[in-house]
Structures are given as C-alpha cells and as structure tokens.
Amino acid sequence: MAVTIRDVAKAAGVSPATVSRALSGSELVEQGTRELVLRTAAQLGYLPNRAARGLITGRTGNLGLIVPDLANPFFPDVVKGIQARAREADYSVFLSDTDEDPAAELGLVRALAKQVDGIILCSPRMSAEDLRAAVDCAPLVAVNRRGSHVPGVTIDNADGMRQAVAHLAALEHRRVGYVAGPRSSWSNRERLRAVRTAAEAEGVELVQIGNVPPQFEGGVAAADLVVAAKVSAVIAYNDVVALGLLTRLAARGIEVPRDMSVVGIDDIAMSAMFSPALTTVSIPKAQSGRAAVELLLQLLGNPGARNPSRREIPTQLLVRDTTAVARQ
Amino acid sequence: MAVTIRDVAKAAGVSPATVSRALSGSELVEQGTRELVLRTAAQLGYLPNRAARGLITGRTGNLGLIVPDLANPFFPDVVKGIQARAREADYSVFLSDTDEDPAAELGLVRALAKQVDGIILCSPRMSAEDLRAAVDCAPLVAVNRRGSHVPGVTIDNADGMRQAVAHLAALEHRRVGYVAGPRSSWSNRERLRAVRTAAEAEGVELVQIGNVPPQFEGGVAAADLVVAAKVSAVIAYNDVVALGLLTRLAARGIEVPRDMSVVGIDDIAMSAMFSPALTTVSIPKAQSGRAAVELLLQLLGNPGARNPSRREIPTQLLVRDTTAVARQ
DNA sequence: CAAGACTATGAAAACGATTGCATCCTCTCT
DNA sequence: AGAGAGGATGCAATCGTTTTCATAGTCTTG
C-alpha cells in the first residue's frame, strides 16, 4: 500500500540506509546519489512514516497545547500564533480544551507527554505543585503564568496597568475601580498587584471591586457594584468583563464615557466593534503564541538548559471611546 | 528511561505477549493473570508507546482537523465539540488553521493524511475536484459542505431560512434583503437558495445585497446598500456580518428594530451581548462537531461503507431584539 | 482411558525508519 | 608503487508494540 523507504531504495538501486541519509540531509552521501534518491522519492510520492521514525529517534514531531476554554475569545488568536509557528518548524500541534477544569490539566499533561516532544500550557489554573509535577512530565512552556522552574511567556502586566492608570490619571480621575477576575487566576493576581502599584505611583485611589468570573455575566454583575463604589473610572480584568459592564451601565442609564470611564484588557476583536468602542490594554496574542513555541523549540534543542528561559510580551494601551475626562 | 511492555512482563513474570493481551482487553487471557498484569502495569506507571503501536497496527489514534480561521467565532465552538467527542473515543486531535487560504487545504490534507486515522474538514473552501482528491487521501468528513462522495455534517439551512423568513413575514415585512457572503462559500450558496425558496413560499419579495466578506467590515459596508435597497428587514450571511450592519445602521441614525429588522445566522456568543441583542438562526455548533467525529469513527470502523453517510443538524430561530413589526 | 478439543501462554516475526559499524573504493603521500 | 586515509555505501541491529503460530497443559467425551 503505502510506499516505504525500501521501495524508494529498490527503485533508486541503493540501500535503505542511503535513502534515509539522503532524505535527512546528511552530508555523507554523494551529490549525484542524493539527487537520484530525491528524484525517485518524489516520483514515487514517498512520505516517511512518522511513527517508525519516532520509534527510533524518540521524537514525535508533535507539540501538545492545552487551553482552558477555546470559546474565550482571547485564546483562538494565541492558538493561531502557536499553530503558525509550529508549522514553520515542521511540528504538528495537538489541541486539548479542558473546559475550565484545573483538575483535568495535570492529567492531560501526563497523557499527552508520551505523544509529544513538548507541551504548551495556556493560562494554567493548576496549583503550583501540580505545575511542578507537570514540568517533570515533559518539556513544557507556560503562557500567562510564571513559576519558579517553569519557562514561560508572560504579559507585561505592570507596564500595561501603568499605561492604563496613567491615562486615567491624565483624564483627572482620582478614584478608580478594578473589577477583579477569579481569585485563583494568576493573571488576576498579577494585574491586581500591578494596578495597585501604578495607582500608588500616580497618586490615584484604587478600590477593588469583587472577584467575578471572567465572563460577560461577570461584568454585568459587577456594574452595580461599580456604581455603588462611587468611582469615576474602572479597569476590568479583561475585555469580556468590560463589555458586560458597558452593557449593564447602559441599561441603568449611566452614559459611558460621560459618567464613567471603562478600560478593558486583551483587545479582543469584539471590543472595537462594540459601541462605544472599548479603550483597552492590547496584548499581542499571536505573538505570545509564537514566542511560546520559540521557547519550547529552544528547550527541545537544549533540554539541559538550566535556567528556564522567560519571555515577556509588551502591551499597548489603545484609547478608544470609553474613556474621557472625569466629570467634576 | 520510559517503562516498556517488557519491563511489565518481567515484573509480572509473564511474556510481553500476555501483557499486550491483558491490556488490550483480549478475552484470551485468564482472569487472574489479567489482574496481575494490570496491577503491575499501574504500579510501574506503564503507558504504551503510541508510535510503536501505530507502527504495527497502522492506526495512530489521531484525528486531523482543518479550519479556515479559528478567529472566526463560529469555529471555536465546533472545535470544542470535536475535541470533546474525540477525547471520549480516546483520540487526539491535530489542529490546523489555513488562515482562509483554500489553496493550502489540500496540501494540509496530504501532509496530515499519514499522521492521522481520519480528517475533519471544516467549511472547506476548496474546489470540488480538490475535495475529491482530498477524500482519496484519508477517511474524511466535511463540516458545512456537501459533496457527492464526501460524508459530512451539514446545517439544515433550508429550515433555518424558512423560520427566519416566516418570522419576518409574520411581522408583515414584504420586501426583505439577504446580505450574501463570499460567492465561493458553499454555505452562502446554500443559504441564498434556501432563503429564495422560503421567500417565494411566504410570498415575500427577496433582494440579494452584495457579496461581502464574512466579517464585521463586510456588514459595515453592506449597511448602506441595505438602506438603498428600500427593504424593511434583512437577513445576513452570518452573525458577524449582522453585527457590522447593526453598527453602521446605528451610526446612520437608523434605529433597529423600529426602522429596520435584522436577522443573523450562527448565534455566536457576542450576538446576545450586543445591544440590541441580535435575532438569529442558532446553529448547535458543538453538536455539529460531535456529529462529525461520530461520522468519522463510523467511517473508520467500517471503511468499506459504500454510501457516504450524512448528518443534518437542525437549526432554531432565536428571536431577540432586532426584529419587530414592519413600519407602515 | 485414550483422543480430540480447547485454553492459556510464549517465542518470534513483523511494522518502517535510523544509525553504528564494517566494507570497499579511490585518492594522496612518501 | 605501496600504504594509509578518508569518503561513500551497505548490512544489520534497534526502537516498543501487536499478532500469528506453536506448544503445553486441561477438559470433555465416547
């Protein structure tokens, strides 16, 4: 059925070993022979059997990718970046969606470990000790999470929050709310800390508002708390929450940005489409994905690397229509 | 390093053959022996090497999944369904995003064919002949596309359009627009035909408006054409286009649904969050994904199946806030 | 009790690639 | 011219499983 290396060898009048060497670009085969082999292989439509190769080399040519929820509009773009970069490097990627179940993450890592050369863990919700265990299963890179022995790609939350708070301060907001995401989320803890630091530096009073699920409904629910908190501006854990806020504020007759300024984080596609268009801290999502693959490839090339490598992605405040000068 | 079947065999005092049989649930091994083997395997943390198994069985335990654009909010939900069902059947899925490049699709199918047991092609844009070629590469199921020899999952567009048109007709709309998607899209051709049939049946006049890219910008651009077409209601190729319409109509001061009714197709998450919330023909996206896997598994179990199997997914009109009685 | 039928197990041959080692040839240097 | 070096190639082992076939023991049955 399928054409094997032996068929090519026979057709080209050489041994399978020579075919293997010619195709893998080894330098130990004569120019003429190589060309002959390459031509024959192409002619026969030969494609190497990955399983067989993997068996002897111990590498699969696959990467594993675990995301908490693909329906969260943040992730598809990250996945696209990962996908694209992996393909360039001739790797295929296995996708797994945990449906927001942190307990499933470690199990998936374990299951995937045998089938892939490395794993990318997106926004892992798992505990620190589980993360440690995961790292021991396979070469692993985390996205949106820093761990003491885990290489990873993170967002420069500190600078993003600094930009957001500086923007609001420049608009004369003196009392600003932060609508927090899930307590268990590393990103949320990180953003909370960053926004506090930034507020202090700018001399702005900061009030934390709730811990809401990172969904539209979370924002809807938070809106009333925001109003009650007597702030003139609010920064949301992410864009989806911010859009929820916007919707409920409008329903209550509170006009944005006249009565309240709102800033999101992520810059998902919908944010620009909403009216009013959301001011947000933009994260280069595809770039984060590419960087994660880059890190992983580096790890695979040099598995003994002692210090886990890190990569921090810069953020950029996009000022759109939901922020304005504070009302006196 | 890794624990192999031989290690388990040695530890359990049996032959590798027996271990293999015990683990694969073959009936030819004695109860006691099976338990011993299972216990030993678990104890040693044995996980079978997929590559080795694949080499001998010829099956990989992997499925390939090709989508045109993961950033299109329609697809993540479908992918989630596919993912979930595949995992239940103990399959892993390779994800590939073609970035809307139809020319890349066949190449990807070819490349993937050797690494997977079957392929799911989502909304393939490729030509009919390419699709024929693709089917010959590997067991294959198409989603959102019907081809003469291609098993696939499709949406019941006819009924969806019927519901939408009946709804508008009941609201006394007599002249309705259809904002068409890309001419090359099979779904678009299908929907156009269905909406025409439905309009005829309801005695409603139908005007086709443009062929726009299936994005927000497409809807924005179409809005002015819609107004010029003097229709009182419009059905859009999909929700994203409908949201673009809504945005531009609002900017022109045309109030929805008072001055114009708008119906989308897909029911993406954002549609419910928009204001006004979009009336739309809902497609069970995850269910489509699951059905595709189901079909593929069936195909794998019985590759000689002559008549390609089909599955049609029902749709459901969700009436929200963008449709109202036509103005006199 | 003998003979056949069955059952549980093991030995060994695959699957298709890679790679260490051996071989053979050609070239160069003394 | 002979010897040694080195480059190109082939042979065969190997990776970890599954599966066919053979074997040895147990059970049934006339």
Q: Residue A194 phi/psi, 5° resolution?
A: -65, -45
Paired with A63 in beta bridges are: A93, A118
The alpha carbon of residue B242 is apart from the nearest alpha carbon of chain A, in Å, by 12
Query: Do residue B70 and residue A47 have CB atoms under 8 angstroms apart?
Result: no
Task: Kindly state whether residues B226 and B146 are assigned to the same domain.
Answer: no
Task: Kindly state whether residues A172 and A253 are assigned to the same domain.
Answer: yes
**Cβ proximity of B208 and B195 under 8 Å:** no
Query: Do residue A243 and residue B273 have CB atoms under 8 angstroms apart?
Result: yes
- Quote the pLDDT of residue B70: 96
Which residue has tokens 């319409």? B245
**CA B230/CA B207 separation, integer angstroms:** 10
**Cβ proximity of B141 and B91 under 8 Å:** no
DSSP state of B262: E
A126 occurs within a structural domain: yes
Task: Kindly state whether residues B231 and B126 are assigned to the same domain.
Answer: no
Q: Which domain holds residue A295?
A: 62-154+285-313
Percent of chain A that is helix, strand, coil (3-state, to 5): 45, 20, 35
Query: Do residue A273 and residue B216 have CB atoms under 8 angstroms apart?
Result: yes
**CA A84/CA B285 separation, integer angstroms:** 24
Q: Which residues of A touch B70 (CB under 8 A)?
A: 76-77, 79-80, 83
Task: Kindly state whether residues B244 and B180 are assigned to the same domain.
Answer: yes
Least CA distance to B251: which residue of chain A?
A275
Half-sphere exposure of B256 (CA within 13 A, CB side): 30
Whole-angstrom CA distances from A276 to A255, A320, B73, B97 are: 10, 8, 21, 31
Task: Kindly state whether residues A238 and A275 are assigned to the same domain.
Answer: yes
Contacts of A157 (CB under 8 A, 6+ apart): A187, A190, A191, A194, A315
* Residue type present at position A245: L
- Quote the pLDDT of residue A141: 96
Residues, CB < 7 Å to strand D: A 13-18, 21, 27-30, 32-33, 52, 55-56; B 1-2, 4-6, 16-17, 20-21, 23-24, 46-49, 52-53, 55-57
Paired with A95 in beta bridges are: A65
Q: Where are the beta strands (DSSP E) in A211-318?
A: 233-236, 261-266, 279-282, 310-313, 316-318
Whole-angstrom CA distances from B143 to A213, B162, B181 are: 33, 21, 17
Read off the CATH number of the domain in which A26 is found: 1.10.260.40
| Chain A from 11 to 40: CB within 8 A of any B CB | none
B104 occurs within a structural domain: yes
Q: Does the CB of B220 sit below 7 A from strand C?
A: no
- Quote the pLDDT of residue A303: 64
**CA A305/CA A298 separation, integer angstroms:** 9
**Cβ proximity of B195 and B158 under 8 Å:** no
A15 occurs within a structural domain: yes
- Quote the pLDDT of residue A93: 96
**Where would I find the H helices in chain B?**
5-12, 16-23, 31-44, 50-57, 74-88, 102-113, 128-137, 157-170, 186-202, 216-228, 239-251, 269-273, 285-301
Query: Do residue B95 and residue A94 have CB atoms under 8 angstroms apart?
Result: yes
Total domains, chain B? 3
For chain B, residues with pLDDT lower than 70 are 1, 27, 303-308
Burial class (CB in 10 A: 0-12, 13-18, 19+), B119: buried
Task: Kindly state whether residues A170 and A269 are assigned to the same domain.
Answer: yes
**Cβ proximity of A86 and A80 under 8 Å:** no
Task: Kindly state whether residues A165 and A16 are assigned to the same domain.
Answer: no
Strand order in the sheet with A261-266: A205-209, A175-179, A233-236, A261-266, A279-282, A316-318
Written as tens digits, the pLDDT of chain A (328 aa) is 689 999 999 999 999 999 999 998 766 788 888 899 999 999 999 999 999 999 999 899 999 999 999 999 999 999 999 999 999 998 999 999 999 898 999 999 988 988 999 999 998 889 999 999 999 889 999 999 998 889 999 999 999 999 999 999 999 999 999 999 999 899 999 999 999 999 999 999 999 999 999 999 999 999 999 999 999 999 999 999 999 999 999 999 999 999 999 999 999 999 999 989 999 999 999 999 999 999 999 988 866 666 668 899 999 999 999 999 998 7
Contacts of A136 (CB under 8 A, 6+ apart): none
Task: Kindly state whether residues A119 and A236 are assigned to the same domain.
Answer: no
**Cβ proximity of A155 and A315 under 8 Å:** yes
Half-sphere exposure of B156 (CA within 13 A, CB side): 14
Task: Kindly state whether residues A275 and A301 are assigned to the same domain.
Answer: no
A 10 A CB-CB count for A155 gives 24
**Cβ proximity of A278 and A271 under 8 Å:** yes
Task: Kindly state whether residues B113 and B189 are assigned to the same domain.
Answer: no
B214 occurs within a structural domain: yes
Nucleotide nearest to B56 (CA to C1'): C15
Three-class SS of residue B274?
coil
**CA A127/CA A136 separation, integer angstroms:** 15
Report helix angle A74-88 to B74-88, nearest 10: 70
Nucleotide nearest to A34 (CA to C1'): D8
Task: Kindly state whether residues A184 and A220 are assigned to the same domain.
Answer: yes
B325 occurs within a structural domain: no
Read off the CATH number of the domain in which B239 is found: 3.40.50.2300
Contacts of B76 (CB under 8 A, 6+ apart): A70, A71, A75, A76, B70
B328 occurs within a structural domain: no
Percent of chain B that is helix, strand, coil (3-state, to 5): 45, 20, 35
B242 occurs within a structural domain: yes
Distance A295 CA to D7 C1' (A): 38
Paired with B143 in beta bridges are: B122, B153
Whole-angstrom CA distances from B246 to A121, A224, B171, B241, B283 are: 38, 27, 19, 9, 20
A57 occurs within a structural domain: no
Task: Kindly state whether residues A221 and A259 are assigned to the same domain.
Answer: yes
Contacts of B157 (CB under 8 A, 6+ apart): B187, B190, B191, B194, B315
Among A75, A216, A275, select the one facing B247 at the smallest CB separation: A275
